[in-house]
Amino acid sequence: MSISRRAFLLATGAVAGSAVLSACGSKGGSAASPSGEVEVFSWWTEGAENAGLQALLADLKLNQPHINFVNRAVAGGAGANAKAELAKRLDANNPPDSFQGHAGAELSDYISAGKLEDLNDLYAEQKWTDVFPEQLLPLISSGSKYYSVPVNIHRANMLWSNPKVVRAVGAETAPTSIPAFLSSLQKVKRAGSKVPLVLGDSWTLKHLLETVMLAALGHAGWSALWKQGADWNSGKITQALEYYHQVLGFTNVSSPASTWDAATTMLGDGRAAYQIMGDWAEASLKTTQNLQAHTDYEWAPVPGTKGTFQFLSDSFTLPKGAKHRDTALAWLRECGSKSGQLGFNGAKGSIPTLTNLNAEDRALFGEYLQWSMDEWKRCQIVGSLTHGVVANNAWNADIDQAVADFAKNPQVPAFQQALAAAAQKHLNA
């Protein structure tokens, strides 16, 4: 590993402490060195997301110095704005050379629409089926064909707390059930000066919903919701939505932060006590805000979800009709390479998809991410709703509408009815 690359990763926080970065397995390319531009769509524009992208690009530049990366990142909405812009490009038969998509049902929309090339030759060349997790492979494939290269694994069901704010009112940093969490939220609310549970833009409402539902239903109950025979009218769903209603009463839903990371800033500077957010929040707290774990922030699974890892995975594709196919393939090799994934994930705040990491590789990551690597191995794995694993874009859109309506008029029976109707519509499609 070159001094310049190691220095860059140290600067972005991708390397933990003074750890020495290894020479890192496979490079981001093959023997061929294509030249020209590669136009890539993503929604990584802010903070640690952008730092992760820049770390990946630094490695791409070292491995493929003749490629000019054209960044078509679109900010906002946990990728919703980027997906809308992407849809226009695809409908006009003017695709980018590669675009970001969540592994799972979201990716299946593009596959079924015939918008993607399969990547089986690339998988065989790079031997990725030997090193990508067995849980991920079905989510990036259709039949016997692979359609994207996953670059990371994130955990959605995480609770972040400001220990100074929480302990000052006698609340818990890691409550283990929803009733215990509600008790702690009440203590913060009574103190009067802090937001008990901070929210950001609209998608964070759905993110909160899915984690509360996971807590109420358990991993098996949650996973069953997305399969034929799901009963969205059950009493267990009613209880989950009642919990969600109660939790919302302790949030800033009437005056949310502008973005998820603005909400994380409120947590970090002591204006809020808790945030339920994916583990990209840790990178914001540690890298962007320069805060210290266990002093300025704590983490725990969302109350009631210990032992379950609700995951999502970002991946990149090869659209049919890509103008610069050779450079797109070089970009995808970079995304699946060990050197690329170590730098990217350390900066972004996620864990690599590669299963062939050694002790030296692990040492490049901080305490939280090493804990997350261990959690991935020992927990029950379930998919995220908000981040594209369990439901396709159309079903997600119907749930978005139900969540927005509930935020304006919080009536649990009507909310449950809307969610049940959406499930019936899409499970029977």
Residue 258 sits in a domain of what CATH number?
3.40.190.10
Last residue of a domain, one of 327, 343, 367: 367
Last residue of a domain, one of 323, 338, 367: 367
Q: In this structure, are residues 39 and 96 in contact, taking their beta carbons and an 8 Å threshold?
A: yes
The model's pLDDT over 47-92, given as tens digits with 9 standing for 90+, comes to 888 899 999 999 999 999 999 999 998 877 667 788 888 889 998 9
pLDDT of residue 203: 95
**Does 373 reside within a domain?**
no
Domain shared by 231 and 278, yes or no: yes
**Does 361 reside within a domain?**
yes
Whole-structure pTM value: 0.91
- Spatial neighbors of 396 by CB under 8 A, at least 6 apart, are 106, 385, 386, 388
Domain shared by 30 and 138, yes or no: yes
Domain shared by 160 and 89, yes or no: no
Domain shared by 120 and 197, yes or no: no
Domain shared by 131 and 161, yes or no: no
Average pLDDT over residues 267-277: 98
**Does 232 reside within a domain?**
yes
Backbone angles phi, psi at 109, to 5 degrees: -60, -45
Q: In this structure, are residues 224 and 230 in contact, taking their beta carbons and an 8 Å threshold?
A: yes
| Separation between Cα atoms, residue 323 and residue 178, nearest integer Å | 51
Domain shared by 139 and 197, yes or no: no
**Does 372 reside within a domain?**
no
| Separation between Cα atoms, residue 365 and residue 395, nearest integer Å | 36
Amino acid at site 15: V
The model's pLDDT over 98-154, given as tens digits with 9 standing for 90+, comes to 999 999 999 888 999 999 999 999 999 999 999 999 999 999 999 999 999 999 999
**Does 390 reside within a domain?**
yes
Residue whose pair of structure tokens reads 């020209």 in the numeric block: 36
SS3 readout for the chain: CCHHHHHHHHHHCCCCCCCCCCCCCCCCCCCCCCCEEEEEECCCCCHHHHHHHHHHHHHHHHHCCCEEEEECCCCCHHHHHHHHHHHHHHHCCCCCCEEEEECCHHHHHHHHCCCECCCHHHHHHHCHHHCCCCCCHHHHEECCEECEEECCEEECCEEEECHHHHHHCCCCCCCCCHHHHHHHHHHHHHHCCCEEECCCCCHHHHHHHHHHHHHHHHHHHHHHCCCCCCCCCCHHHHHHHHHHHHHHCCECCCCCCCCHHHHHHHHHCCCEEEEECCCHHHHHHHHHCCCCECCCEEEEECCCCCCEEEEECEEEECECCCCCHHHHHHHHHHHHCHHHHHHHHHHHCCECCCCCCCHHHHCCCCHHHHHHHHHHHHCEEEECCCCCCCCCHHHHHHHHHHHHHHHHCCCHHHHHHHHHHHHHHHHCC
Mean of the per-residue pLDDT values of the chain: 91
Residue 238 lies in domain = 155-310+382-427
Domain shared by 260 and 297, yes or no: yes
Rounded alpha-carbon distances, angstroms, from residue 108 to 8, 218, 266, 396: 36, 26, 36, 13
Domain shared by 28 and 134, yes or no: yes
Domain shared by 148 and 159, yes or no: no
- Spatial neighbors of 320 by CB under 8 A, at least 6 apart, are 95, 114, 115, 116, 117
Beta bridge partners of 101: 315
**Does 195 reside within a domain?**
yes
**Does 374 reside within a domain?**
no
The model's pLDDT over 282-313, given as tens digits with 9 standing for 90+, comes to 999 998 899 999 999 999 999 999 999 999 99
Domain shared by 7 and 45, yes or no: yes
Cβ neighbours around 325 below 10 Å, total: 17
Q: In the structure, what pLDDT confidence band is assigned to residue 10 with cuts at 50, 70 and 90? A: very low
Domain shared by 264 and 286, yes or no: yes
Tally of domains in the chain? 2
Domain shared by 275 and 200, yes or no: yes
Last residue of a domain, one of 367, 391, 412: 367
**Does 123 reside within a domain?**
yes
